[in-house]
């Protein structure tokens, strides 16, 4: 079985936040009110479902042959290459969000998954988000353009 590294990377990166959004959506909202449970939770759960579906789709692409040609104006492009462009485009927005958080004064790099004194620190902070989304988005774009 052949595994395509950029798709596996995307699946692994998006799986934890998708599950957290599905099962504990308000953990992403630092200051919340009781109204948030009814108004924000469904939207965050829906976003978690979209992330999970992209993770599943990406995993399925990683285990299927990369020879499915698209017969249209995208001559020479396989399903995998077009999917990689689409998934790479998604990673642009978390990159911008991380940059905004860093520019807003949030601490850029926190040791992944831990805060001070070994306490849990969510998903690592905006610096970790910036680096991981740059790497995964770049790997997907490289796959799309040069495979």
pLDDT at 6: 93
Q: Does the structure show a pLDDT above 60 at 1?
A: no
**How far are the Cα atoms of 11, 80, 82, 122 from residue 58, in angstroms, in the given order?**
6, 9, 12, 24
Q: Which residue has the tokens 């969510």?
A: 122
Mean pLDDT, rounded, for 120-147:
85
- Separation of first and last alpha carbons in the chain: 18
pLDDT at 2: 58
Residue 68 CA to residue 24 CA, distance in Å, equals: 38
Say whether pTM exceeds 0.85: no
Q: How confident is the model at residue 74 (pLDDT cuts 50, 70, 90)?
A: low
Q: How big is the CA angle at 105 (ends 103 and 107), to the nearest 5 degrees? A: 105
DSSP state of 96: H
pLDDT digits (tens, 9 = 90+) for 88-131: 999 999 999 999 988 998 876 555 444 444 444 456 788 888 99
Domain ranges, ordered by start, for the chain: 5-146
100 token code pair: 């905004």
In degrees, rounded to 5, the angle at the alpha carbon of residue 127 between the alpha carbons of residues 126 and 129 is 60
């Amino acid at each position: 079985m052949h595994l395509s590294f950029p798709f596996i990377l995307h699946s692994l990166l998006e799986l934890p936040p998708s599950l957290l959004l599905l099962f504990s959506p308000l953990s992403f909202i630092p200051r919340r009110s009781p109204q948030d449970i009814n108004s924000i939770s469904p939207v965050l759960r829906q976003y978690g479902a979209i992330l999970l579906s992209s993770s599943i789709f990406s995993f399925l692409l990683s285990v299927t042959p990369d020879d499915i040609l698209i017969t249209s104006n995208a001559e020479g492009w396989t399903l995998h290459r077009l999917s990689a462009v689409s998934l790479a485009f998604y990673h642009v927005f978390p990159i911008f969000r991380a940059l905004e958080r860093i520019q807003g004064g949030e601490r850029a790099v926190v040791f992944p998954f831990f805060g001070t004194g070994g306490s849990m620190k969510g998903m690592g902070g905006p610096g970790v988000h910036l680096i991981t989304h740059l790497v995964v988005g770049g790997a997907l774009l490289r796959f799309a353009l040069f495979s």
